[in-house]
């Protein structure tokens, strides 16, 4: 990420329309760091991997994906509106496209691409919020270590069910029908 996120204000009252690239984290309006090229390329590679799952006509299909979609989490102690790098909803939960790229229905899958300026938040407050909202699967992609961590929801907290790095080929929940090659995911030469 090229710039660090900045806390702009703390308030329980926020406009319905947030400025572009802002999140609400624990009641604070925070500017999300601008993605660098590697971050953007990883989002694109993940989207490419997910393409067979996107929509009804794809094989195996059954999902709807969005990048940087604003998701409001209502059942949290303080207001939270996140812009996860990639999020997915099963079509039986969200059958129609999201209005203006916004959702109040928690996704069933979220992936965050870690960066030095956001990793603590992705592994802390966001992980806790996603768990409280019953997000079934949470992926963490780390460009620094070139690794993928797959977490799945459990009553007492997320459980790590897979850790993979370059050289590994995995079938990661919930997308086990297709193999993900980590060398392909991280190869940008």
Tokens for 4, please give them.
């660090």
pLDDT tops 60 at residue 72: yes
Average pLDDT of the residues of the chain: 85
Across the range 107-132, mean pLDDT stands at 93
Query: How is the chain split into domains, by residue range?
Result: 34-186
Provide the 3-class DSSP secondary structure of residue 152: strand
pTM of the predicted structure, to 2 decimals: 0.84
Specify the CATH number for 34-186; select among 3.40.630.30, 3.30.413.10, 3.30.1330.10, 3.90.1570.10: 3.90.1570.10
User: What Cα–Cα distance (Å) separates residue 171 from each residue in 62, 85, 148, 150, 168?
Assistant: 17, 20, 12, 10, 10
Higher pLDDT among residues 37 and 168, named by residue: 168
Higher pLDDT among residues 164 and 100, named by residue: 164
The H helix count followed by the E strand count for the chain is 4, 14
Tens digits of residue pLDDT in 148-159: 999 999 999 999
pLDDT tops 90 at residue 95: no
Per-residue pLDDT at 19: 54
Higher pLDDT among residues 167 and 19, named by residue: 167
Higher pLDDT among residues 142 and 103, named by residue: 142
Q: How many CA atoms lie within 13 A of 58 on its CB side?
A: 17
Q: Which long-range contacts (CB under 8 A, 24 or more apart) does 25-30 make?
A: 25/80, 25/82, 25/121, 25/125, 25/126, 26/77, 26/78, 26/80, 26/125, 27/78, 27/79, 30/5, 30/6
Per-residue pLDDT at 186: 96
Per-residue pLDDT at 117: 84
How much of the chain, in percent, has pLDDT values that exceed 70? 86
Tens digits of residue pLDDT in 166-189: 999 999 999 999 999 999 999 986
Q: Is the Cβ–Cβ distance between 102 and 70 less than 8 Å?
A: yes
Across the range 51-76, mean pLDDT stands at 86
Q: Which letter does DSSP use for residue 101 in this model? A: G
pLDDT tops 70 at residue 14: no
pLDDT tops 80 at residue 90: yes
Q: What is the dihedral of CA 60, 177, 175, 114, to 10 degrees?
A: -130
Across the range 57-78, mean pLDDT stands at 83
């Amino acid at each position: 990420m090229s710039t660090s996120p900045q806390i702009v204000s703390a308030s329980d009252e926020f406009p319905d329309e947030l400025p572009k690239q802002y999140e609400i984290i624990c009641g604070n309006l925070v500017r999300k760091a601008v993605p660098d090229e590697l971050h953007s390329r990883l989002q694109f590679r993940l989207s490419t991997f997910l393409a067979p799952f996107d929509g009804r006509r794809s094989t195996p299909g059954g999902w709807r994906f969005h990048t940087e979609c604003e998701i409001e989490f209502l059942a949290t102690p303080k207001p939270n509106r996140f812009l996860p790098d990639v999020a997915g909803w099963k079509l039986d939960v969200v059958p129609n496209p999201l209005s203006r790229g916004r959702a109040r229905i928690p996704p069933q899958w979220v992936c965050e691409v870690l960066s030095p300026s956001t990793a603590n938040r992705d592994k802390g407050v966001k992980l806790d919020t996603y768990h409280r909202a019953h997000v079934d699967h949470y992926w963490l992609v780390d460009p620094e270590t070139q690794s993928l961590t797959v977490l799945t929801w459990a009553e007492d907290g997320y459980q790590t069910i897979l850790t993979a790095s370059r050289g590994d080929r995995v079938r990661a929940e919930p997308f086990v029908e297709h193999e993900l090659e980590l060398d392909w995911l991280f190869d940008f030469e």
